[in-house]
């Protein structure tokens, strides 16, 4: 059977097809090097990355964002690059300490929609497939660098990844991130930004990951263990919310010499170095958590929480 170049849609449906029991084509002349155990380790890791990436995009774009993992498969670099459209946003990074290069590919219309939101627009209009302007390229670089930071955080269970963005290519044929026959692990993601959907892929070289994956699969918990951990974490959060914590409100402290302290007698008045228009500090366990102004509620003293001086100056 001749090897077929899988389209983005085929890769997206690969994992869902396996879940439904639908047969997936297999080329016996090109046996897979990605074992089922290694694929499971990566799926668990990338699902964590999906949650962190969705949180990053939601806070950056100020809208609802969902990121789902579609599949984790192996391809040669040549096959992977052939599936990418031109022009296309193909970011190449150094996955230190791994040898080789990694690739994060983003759907161009989806990225342009995200950039429009970052610039204050709605991002709801259909976006063209074109090359980025200089300003758009700068915004894209910043977004990709923060995405790579979230990727490194999600891969800590496998290795201490320190990715460094090297280049942003808009023609996949010019991005020689690896040799044509090098095997890559390609993870496909579906992104839903409000009403706009798109795809993204993450490719890492398989051979440098093999040792790390073999060690990591021994540390991955079973689904039942993960369920129990989530249950215990939720219970802990519920109990922590109801634990009483001592909170106090204080003025700026005054400094006195030992002889001045020893000379204090009832009726003495101390001048505190606290401006009359400055807010008080709300303190819990010697940590300032908020600012407040003094007041009363009925017959009791009280304080009103107000913005901190840093927040007021913005």
Please count the other Cβ atoms lying within 10 Å of the Cβ belonging to residue 286: 6
Q: What does the pLDDT read at residue 209?
A: 77
Q: List the chain residues with pLDDT less than 70.
A: 1-34, 211, 214-222, 225-226, 309-314
Q: What does the pLDDT read at residue 120?
A: 85
User: Whole-prediction pTM value?
Assistant: 0.59
Q: What is the pLDDT of residues 152-173, one digit of tens each?
A: 998 887 888 889 998 888 887 7
């Amino acid at each position: 059977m001749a090897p077929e170049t899988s389209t983005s849609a085929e890769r997206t449906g690969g994992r869902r097809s396996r879940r439904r029991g639908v047969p997936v084509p297999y080329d016996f002349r090109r046996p897979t090097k990605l074992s089922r155990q290694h694929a499971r380790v990566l799926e668990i890791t990338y699902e964590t990355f999906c949650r962190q990436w969705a949180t990053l995009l939601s806070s950056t774009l100020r809208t609802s964002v969902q990121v789902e993992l579609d599949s984790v498969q192996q391809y040669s670099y040549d096959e992977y690059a052939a599936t990418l459209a031109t022009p296309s946003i193909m970011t190449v990074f150094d996955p230190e300490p791994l040898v080789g290069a990694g690739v994060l590919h983003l759907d161009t219309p989806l990225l342009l929609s995200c950039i429009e939101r970052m610039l204050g627009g709605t991002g709801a209009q259909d976006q063209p497939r074109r090359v980025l302007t200089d300003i758009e390229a700068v915004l894209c670089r910043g977004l990709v660098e923060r995405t790579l930071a979230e990727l490194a955080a999600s891969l800590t269970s496998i290795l201490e990844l320190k990715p460094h963005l090297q280049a942003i290519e808009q023609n996949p044929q010019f991005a020689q991130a690896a040799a044509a026959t090098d095997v890559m692990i390609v993870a496909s993601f579906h992104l839903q930004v409000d009403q706009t959907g798109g795809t993204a892929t993450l490719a890492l070289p398989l051979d440098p990951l093999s040792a790390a994956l073999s060690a990591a699969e021994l540390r991955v918990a079973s689904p039942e263990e993960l369920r129990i951990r989530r249950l215990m974490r939720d219970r802990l959060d519920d109990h922590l919310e109801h634990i009483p914590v001592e909170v106090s409100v204080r003025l700026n402290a005054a400094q006195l010499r030992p002889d001045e302290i020893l000379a204090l007698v009832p009726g003495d008045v101390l001048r505190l170095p606290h401006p009359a228009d400055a807010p008080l500090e709300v303190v819990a366990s010697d940590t300032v958590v908020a600012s407040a102004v003094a007041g009363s509620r009925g017959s009791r003293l009280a304080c009103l929480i107000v913005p901190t001086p840093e927040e007021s100056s913005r």
